[in-house]
Structures are given as C-alpha cells and as structure tokens.
Amino acid sequence: MKKYFTHFSYFAVLLLLLFACKSAEKSLKKGNFDDSVIRAADKLKSNPGHTASIDILKQAYPLALEQHLNDIKQNKESEDLFRWEAELQSYEKLNRLFLVLDQCGSCAKVVDAKRFAQEEKMARHNAANVRYKEAQTLLAIGDRESARKAYEHFEVVNNILPNFNDVRERLDLAYEIASFKVVVEQVLVTSRTYQLSNEYFQERVNEYLQTNKRLNKFVRFYMPEEAANLKIQPDHIIKLQFDDFVVGNTLVEKNTKVVISKDSVKVGEKQVGRSKTPIYDKVTAKFTQNRKTVLSAGLLDMQIMDFKTKRVVTQEKFNGEYNWMCEWAHFNGDERALTAAQLRQCKSQELLPPAPQQLFIEFSKPIYERLTSKLQTYYAKY
C-alpha cells in the first residue's frame, strides 16, 4: 500500500509539472510573455533542472523585457499629458518580473534579470507631479465642477504616491468646494408617546446618508447642529414630517362552525348476550377560530428646499404599514371531530401585541426604504 501511494504521489507531481509547463508554453505562444516568465520561474523553483521550463524562460524573459522597453519608448514620445502613468506601469511590471526571478535561485543561471528601481521611482514622482499640477490648475478656477475634477486628480496622486506634497490637505480643500451640501432637519412627530420610536427612525436615516457608499460621493449630508457648528451654508434643506399615522387599530374576527369527524369512532357499547359490542358513529364539536389583527400605518412628507431661494424644489409622500396578527382557537364537544391542524390551533393562545412604540418602528421600516431609495436616485444627478 505504501509503495502504491509513493508511486501515485510521484505521478501526481509529474502531472502538475507537465501542466504548468504546458501553461507557460501556451502563454508564450499567445504573446503573454510576463505570464510565461512567471509560470516557468514557478516551475523551476520546485524543479531547477526542468529543461522545458528553462527553454521557455530563455525565450520569454527577453521578449517581455523588449516589449516593456518598447512601450516605455513609445510613451516618452507620446503627447499624452499623463504619459508618465503608462511608463510607471511598464516599470512596475519589469520590477515584478525581477522580483519573481530573484526569488528563484536557479533562474539566475538561465537569464540575467534586470532591475529598474530608480526608473520606477522617477516615473512615479513624475506621474504624481503632473497630476498634482493639473489638479492645482483646476482648483484655482474655483467653481464646483472644476473642484470635482481636481479632487479626482488629487485622488490619483495619492494612489500613485501617498502623501505627495500636501495632497491630503488639497483633497480636503477640493472636496469642500466640490461638495453639494444638504442639511437634513429632524423628523417631526406630534405625539410624545412615539418620540423614542421617531428617534430610531431618524437615526437610521442619518446613518444611511452618512455611510452609504452608493450615494453620490460629492453630496454631503449634515445634521442641523453639525451644520451650525461648522458654519455650513447648505445648498438644500430636507424637511421630514409624519403627516398622519395610526398605531394599534385592533380588529378581532371570530368564526364558529360545527365540525364532524371524517370517520366513525367508538361512542359507546351495547350488551349482546354475554358480550359487549362497540358502537361506532361520527362525532361533532363546535370549533371557534379567532384572529386578532393590529393595524398600524403612517404617511411621511418629504420636502427638499433650495436654501438660497427658499423654494421647494421637490416634494413627495411615502406611506408604510404593518399588520401584526395572532390566531388561536378553542372547541366544545368531542375533540375526535377535529383534524390534526385544528387540534394544533387549539393549543395556541391569544398573545399580547407589541408595544405601540415598536409598532411605530415597524410601519416606518417600509417608509425608510422608500425614502432612502428616493434620496439616492434624486441626488445621483448632483
């Protein structure tokens, strides 16, 4: 058994090596020279004398090197303002190949891998610098649209070379000019009884507007206190108010019927001579079903107002409802007249409905979904 396992393991390794070799060869034929180098180097790390991988590496690396150096030459001759970024990508790929080959001891005997660390560093600096200058030019214009373009450029700068110059401060400044500022006023509800439930609804709305990544990143939402503390002059004011709501409207329904057993069952005995004979007949019972439904519903009014003109730019109402239900049953008569399902119902008991505050929260959930969906769609254009 041990011998069989050893042979099997050896065969499996051979298959893996053969597959990797074929993959490297396939990449070479397709012109994917980087991939071919990586696959061949990976093979040689585990099998330094693998002749097929050695041959592939001898062909693939010079071709990959030539390809990237040609790309760099073409980029230098390009009139594209951001040509340094393409050059940076080429040097990154070359240095990635160097790292792969440097980690493969036997590969050094096959090819002379070249490192372009200084060239990559210079290209990275130049790429960041060009983007930074373009962003500064746009930011100096001072309008919102130019500031948004500047912000996008500063983001690229920070990705290419984190903390380049004062890029983080510039990102904050550009965003301040670029952002469309909206103050969301507290949701109004007339009853003190539901104040806590209303606060829960308000907090959910606030959390969505502050953290949801699907919203337009240049639209910034503020709470009134936050806007006042930061001395924000908003573009829009959102007013939310529950126009109408009802909580705990209870409806009780009762249905009584006579049920008869499906089959005849033993109902007694009669004396026949010296023996007793069972008597069979169908039995009945009065079965009463009860259903309690507690209805809760509300209507939220949303107004979006332009802060400068005080004009309502859009208004919409969102409704929501929640029905809590409880069912139970009881019977009088012979329980054998009932079906298994009816018997189970009779084991149920009348339950107390949730507290009014919880019912308020439940009917406000669909309102929350409709409101946030509307805000997401509406502010996508800003």
Q: Is the pLDDT of residue 365 over 90?
A: yes
- For position 275, what pLDDT does the model report? 86
DSSP state of 309: T
Helices (H), the chain: 2-30, 33-46, 51-77, 83-102, 117-141, 144-160, 167-178, 195-211, 224-229, 340-346, 356-379
Residue 21's pLDDT band (boundaries 50, 70, 90)?
Answer: low
pLDDT digit string, tens, across residues 193-244: 666 677 888 889 988 888 876 788 999 999 999 999 999 999 999 999 988 8
- Percent of residues, the chain, with pLDDT higher than 70: 92
Q: Which single residue is written with the structure tokens 């069952």? A: 265
Query: What is the pLDDT, as a whole number, of residue 271?
Result: 83
Q: Which amino acid is at 158?
A: N
192: confidence class by pLDDT, cuts 50, 70, 90: low
At residue 55, does pLDDT exceed 80?
Answer: yes
Residue pair 61/37 in contact by the 8 Å Cβ criterion = yes
The whole-angstrom separation of Cα 178 and Cα 141 is 12
Mean pLDDT for 291-319 is 95
Residue 339 has pLDDT above 70, yes or no: yes
Contact (Cβ atoms closer than 8 angstroms) between residue 294 and residue 288: no
pLDDT of residue 299: 92
Average pLDDT of every residue of the chain: 89
Q: At residue 316, does pLDDT exceed 60?
A: yes
Residue 344 banded pLDDT, cuts 50, 70, 90: very high
Between CA 284 and CA 335 the distance in angstroms is 8
Inter-residue contact 138 to 150 (CB < 8 Å) = yes
**pLDDT of 19 over the 50 cut:** no
pLDDT at residue 20 tops 60: no
Give the least confident one: 7-21, 48-62, 194-208, 236-250. 7-21
Query: What does the pLDDT read at residue 287?
Result: 94
**Per-residue pLDDT at 22:** 63
Write the pLDDT tens digit of every residue in 267-304: 888 888 888 888 888 999 999 999 999 999 999 999 99
pLDDT in tens, 135-182: 999 999 999 999 999 999 999 999 999 989 999 999 999 999 999 999
Nearest to 362 by CA among 191, 129, 204, 206: 204
| R_g (Cα) of the chain, nearest Å | 38
How far is residue 131 CA from its own chain's centroid? 31
Reduced to 3 states, what is the DSSP secondary structure of residue 166? coil
Mean pLDDT of 244-253: 90
Residue 333 in this model has a pLDDT that exceeds 60: yes
